[in-house]
Amino acid sequence: MHRIKDDLRSLLKNCKICPRDCGVHRIYKSGYCKGGMKIRINSCMKHLGEEPMISGHRGSGTIFMSNCNMHCLYCQNYTISQLGYGREYTVEQVASMMLDLQAAGVHNINFVTPTHFTLQIREAIIKAKQAGLSIPIVWNSNAYEHANLIRELEGLIDIFLPDFRYADCDAALKYSDAPDYPTFAQKALSEMHRQVGKIELDADGIAQSGLLIRILLLPRDLNNIRGILTWIADNLGTETYISLMTQYYPTYKANEYSKISRPIHASEYREAVSLAEDIGFENGYFQGLGITPEWTPDFKK
């Protein structure tokens, strides 16, 4: 059903995997994302730090990919996304990793920052399913993706867990080197919604399928929360699950830029929550204030 297509493989020879379209031959050279042909992974773990419907009581089988196709100056996971801590694995090794996580009793397999390895992960999922993988697959991405590549994942991904980082192009350029982020993210989110629709929970409240959109609040509303929430409401519906995240703190290069050199203020949090309620969102999570750097795992270990 999901044969690996030669025309998809060719995208890695003149890389068109993400909106960067950097055109490098990934067998011989790494792209903007610093990714080659093998899947580079930092860590694989039973993780309890996701939203309750994802982590549940047994944990999410989280696989943190190294490197990233965005360059966020404030990335809390910069040691893996920007510095590339990790090691390379074959498709077969990643398939075995997924099966080992399932055997450990996790609720799902959760690929974090998978975009630049979309085709390799797609192949690994197929192999794992052929070998008995049966729990849901989570695609935990930044949404800076080609909708046509998301379409190639149809039937393989059960839960999409994307960010919607910016509705403002200038901020996307300045802080993530991605001026076209809003356009591509909107198309990717629309395709994710088409595939899996609204979140479906089992009897224990654990997500089995659907779309949950994460929105990281930035200082001074730099990402335009109103624009983000309004677009979701108008295009995907207010019944869409959202997760308003307040865990921002200045890290990586954030202190070099005055507008992002501080945490979220309580007033900014209250305004965002009030806005979501006024627009009419019915489902999701509000992350309380009080997140500190100690919450971020040490990915160097």
Does residue 3 sit within a domain?
A: no
Distance CA 228, CA 139 (A): 20
Does residue 18 sit within a domain?
A: no
Does residue 224 sit within a domain?
A: yes
Q: Where residue 38 falls among pLDDT bands split at 50, 70, 90?
A: very high
DSSP letter, residue 66: S
Q: Name the helix (H) or strand (E) containing 193.
A: helix 181-196
Beta strands in 48-123 (DSSP E): 60-65, 87-89, 109-112
Distance CA 176, CA 285 (A): 25
Rounded to 5°, angle at Cα 297 from 68 and 85: 40
CATH of the domain at 59: 3.20.20.70
Q: What does DSSP say about strands 159-160 and 207-216: parallel, antiparallel, or unpaired?
A: parallel
User: The domain containing residue 199 runs over which residues?
Assistant: 34-295
Tokens of 33: 């994302």
Task: Encode pLDDT of 109-132 as tens digits.
Answer: 999 999 999 999 999 999 999 999
Does residue 16 sit within a domain?
A: no
Does residue 140 sit within a domain?
A: yes
Q: Where residue 7 falls among pLDDT bands split at 50, 70, 90?
A: low
Contacts of 153 (CB under 8 A, 6+ apart): 118, 122, 139, 195
Query: Which candidate, 48, 15, 45, places its Cα nearest to that of 32?
Result: 15
- Dihedral angle computed from the Cα positions of residues 220, 222, 226 and 230, in that order, rounded to the nearest 10 degrees: -160
pLDDT for residue 65: 97
Does residue 188 sit within a domain?
A: yes
| Radius of gyration from C-alpha coordinates of the chain | 18
Region 6-18: mean pLDDT is 82
Does residue 7 sit within a domain?
A: no
Rounded to 5°, angle at Cα 161 from 95 and 56: 80
Domain count of the fold of the chain: 1
Does residue 9 sit within a domain?
A: no
pLDDT for residue 291: 55
Res. 79: pLDDT tops 90: yes
Beta strands in the chain (DSSP E): 39-47, 60-65, 87-89, 109-112, 137-140, 159-160, 200-201, 207-216, 241-245, 284-286
Task: Encode pLDDT of 240-260 as tens digits.
Answer: 999 999 999 999 999 999 999
- Mean pLDDT for all residues in the chain: 93
pLDDT for residue 12: 87
